[in-house]
Amino acid sequence: MSFEVREGDLAGRIGTLHTRRGEVETPHLMPVVNPVKNTIPPIELKERFGFNMIITNSYLILKHYGKERPDVHELTGFDGPIMTDSGAYQLLIYGGVDTNPEEIVKFQEGIRSDVGVILDVPTGGYAAREEAEFTVEETIKRAEQSIKYRSDPTMLWAGPIQGGRHLDLVERSARRMGRIDFQIHPLGSPTQIMEEYDYPALVDMIVTAKRNLPPERPLHLFGAGHPMMLALAVALGCDLFDSAAYALFAKDGRYMTATRTIRFEDLTELPCSCPVCAGHGLDGLLELPKMEREGLLARHNLYVTVEEVRVIKQAIGEGSLWELLETRCRSHPKLYEGFKRLSFYSDYLETNDPVLGKRVRGLFFYDNVSTFRPEVIRHRRRISERYRRPRGRNVLVLLPTPDEKPFNRSRVFREVRERLGGREDIHVCFYGGPFGIIPSELAETFPLSQYESSNGLGGNWRKDLPSFIRKNRYKKAMILIQNGAVKIRGAKAVRSLDEILAEVG
């Protein structure tokens, strides 16, 4: 096993990738390093910023050095694990490369890469159906052929998933690539989609790939490096990232934050306390020559990125990744569209969200999108599939969820029990809020009373109640309503406890 998972939250996970040059904790972002010229020396990426693994381009090394085959670690001056891309990005951008699948596999072995990538055929973000199908089939063909080109068993290999926006092709690609001997799977061609801020499409692609890949293999999201979208990608199950954004943005005078990008000339304050910002200040940076300022701005961008990865890991560890998602995804309308897309995949998140081993903490609900989080989906499913009313309690009384928690210690619950005289045939349940139906005997179990929410959360109790009443075969059911008319099949609406008493008799 080259990959072990230690902790998880949603579909996100903290794991360890084992390479021949040491272990790498995931989620991990690999800075893209130019093998010839760099804004920041690669060794600084490790010693100052803590990046234990970087990525560079074997095709550029091949074009620059030819058959010399220099050791990639000596060339870059980086002594940790190095992943090398194959030139497929150049193939996407320029339409061709001066190499072939066999040569680039053997070349990556020759330069002592720790993780290699086959020369796949990228789909891109705009490919028509016929073209996309070709990229999938050709990449699978090259992946199968790559097995016979390999001779170094200590090296890890990455098999990219293609298909682009054509989700059935992404599914086909993931299923077939998952049967080939790879240790990592990058999701190919997301860069153009991310450049368009089409986050719903990106969500679709990631989930489709994850559902059809072996779960023990890390998923690498090519070209993803802006801090504001990392939490979303990790929550969906991405383990590795790579990006040159830190340097490209700096060259263009763009200053990263966890939630957006600011043009450097628009800054009136430095909203950051990293060593670059704290050590120079805005005036100090403005006084520097352009090239020197560019290098410092790239370092700032890296500090922000490192901090965001740590924030994500902390959220996974304490079980608050959903809350972090809610915060980050509201930083941009298009990103929020991607967040809302999670409602299509609530079952996927619930299935992958660990039930055991997570820290118990209160949950926050902001709006109805929040009710698609795994804890709610899990409760609704279990109430539907596993729950049976207590024996003998065949008269259902439904009360709106009170403000007091736990609900079975609230004033209204105590009053109902007192006025009904402790009758053994009465079964009190609560309805409303994020969780829908909550039997009173379960009201103190986590997380049914351990949450905070904004007012007006509708939930899905109207849809769940008729089947709940029918499956539990109540002789009579009453629902206490306070405002407005509520019609629930199988339950009589009442407006006061007196009406409940009259109905019960």
CA 80/CA 291 separation, integer angstroms: 28
Q: Token pair for residue 6?
A: 């230690």
Cβ atoms of residues 406 and 449 within 8 Å: yes
Bond preceding residue 27 cis, omega within 30 of 0: yes
65: part of which helix (H) or strand (E)? helix 58-65
Catalytic residue flag (residue 85):
yes
Orientation of helix 321-329 relative to helix 333-340, angle to 10°: 140
| Cis amide leading into 406 (omega within 30) | yes
Helices (H), 353-495: 374-385, 411-419, 461-472
CA gap 190, 281 in Å, rounded: 36
Taking the CB of residue 347, how many other CB atoms lie within 10 A of it?
Answer: 12
Measure CA 228 to chain center. 12
382, with CB counted inside 10 A (0-12, 13-18, 19+), is exposed
Structure-token pair, residue 406: 């736990």
d(CA 242, CA 150): 24
**Cα 51 to Cα 6: distance, rounded to the nearest angstrom:** 20
Return d(Cα 177, Cα 217) in angstroms, integer: 11
Q: What are phi and psi of 171, to 5 degrees?
A: -60, -45
Q: Is 31 helix (H, G, I), strand (E, B) or coil?
A: strand
Cis amide prior to 434 (ω within 30 degrees): no
Contact 395/476 with Cβ under 8 angstroms?
yes
Strand partners, 475: none
**Residues 398/404, Cβ–Cβ less than 8 Å:** no
CB 449 within 8 A of CB 411: no
E strand or H helix that includes residue 75: helix 72-76
- Both tokens of 207, joined, read 């989930």
Which residue among 9, 79, 85, 198 is the active-site one? 85
Task: Label the pairing between strands 363-365 and 451-453.
Answer: parallel
- Judge whether 334 and 199 are in contact, CB under 8 Å: yes
Contacts of 135 (CB under 8 A, 6+ apart): 120, 121, 122, 123, 124, 127, 162, 163, 164
Unique residue bearing structure tokens 């929410």: 453
Q: Which positions are annotated as active-site residues?
A: 85
